[in-house]
Amino acid sequence: MLSIRSVLGGLVATSLAAGLVVGAEAGSDTAAPTTEPVPVCAEVGPYTPPPPNSVGTPAGVRLCPVRAALEVRTPGTVLDGLDVTGGVVVAAPGVVVRRSRVTGDGTTAAGIRTLDGGSVRIEDTTLTGAFTDAAVDGPDWVVERVEMTAVRADGARLGPGATLRNSWLHDFAPRSDRPVDAIALAAPEGDVLVEANRIRLGTGPGLGSAVLVDPAGTARHESAGDHERRVERPGPVVIRDNELGGGRYTLLRDAAAAPLADLRITGNRFHRDAGAAPLRVRGAAELRDNVFVDGGEVRR
């Protein structure tokens, strides 16, 4: 595989059949990761915090196109200003993806996916297109100010240690083989946060739920990435202060799901566009302060 350094010197365009290994010696699929830093796209310029309420790739940012799947093996790698066609696999801790766009072409399982031992922060980024599983998948990731739109798969599958915050998920593209959910929580150990997002799944054939709580992975999909992660102190599953709409059941936790010790669904605002009901929660859960956007309490 080629080193990413060989293709990111400024505005680049590649059409590589093989993936790019970030942090490995050039010409080797199995080379040990190096500690050499990976440069960001020169065209994107220095990072500055986005304006308030910014979501997705910031307007006016010039991105460097990379037409190949990326696999990140070096801890602390920062991928900034990339326009990736394919996906990113994170196999190292402390990775950052920012000010980028990831477009699925149907060849990768996820837009960004963590493997065991990998962790990533994804910010100011847009994910779109066709993935076989989800736009973001796996454990140990933080998504902040991200837009997911026109995704032909689940939006996000949250494993243990995943956080989805201040993001906008909308205009999903239905699939013919199985229902699509905007987010699916598949963390039996908990330690998951979904906070202050706008999630509008829409309604119609092929659209499941804006939020599916399914820690066993049994209702519709496999759990997030077939990961095995030992958690010494299980955390709660918290879904709070989101604006939610669409789906047959906008927020669904069905009776078939595995039990969760601590499920909290609080302060969410629901649109009245669900096919069957805005909220269906079976089993123990803290439910309070969930309302319709035009007024009125939402009950299970």
Contact yes or no for 124/98 (Cβ under 8 A): yes
Query: pTM (2 decimals)?
Result: 0.85
What pLDDT, on a 0 to 100 scale, did the predictor assign at position 18? Answer: 37
Q: H/E/C letters for each residue in 146-205?
A: CEEEEECCEEEEECCCCEEECCEEECCCCCCCCCECCEEECCCCCCEEEECCEEECCCCC
| Residue matched to tokens 């080797």 | 28
Average pLDDT across each block of 10 residues of the chain; the chain has 300 residues. List them in order: 38 39 46 44 88 92 91 94 95 97 96 96 98 96 98 95 97 88 84 97 94 69 50 79 97 78 94 97 93 94
pLDDT at 277: 97
pLDDT score recorded for residue 35:
38
Among 89, 119, 125, residue whose Cα is nearest residue 107? 89
Count helices and strands (H / E) in the chain: 0, 30
Could you tell me whether strands 88-90 and 70-72 are parallel, antiparallel, or unpaired per DSSP bridges? parallel
String of DSSP letters for 111-159: EEEEPTT--EEEES-EEEEE-SSEEEEESSEEEES-EEEEESSEEEEE-
Give pLDDT, residue 260. 76
Residues 120, 161: Cα–Cα separation, whole Å? 11
Q: How far apart are CA 29 and CA 275, in angstroms?
A: 48
**Tell me, what's the pLDDT at 58?**
94
Angle at 278 between CA 273 and CA 279, to 5 degrees: 170
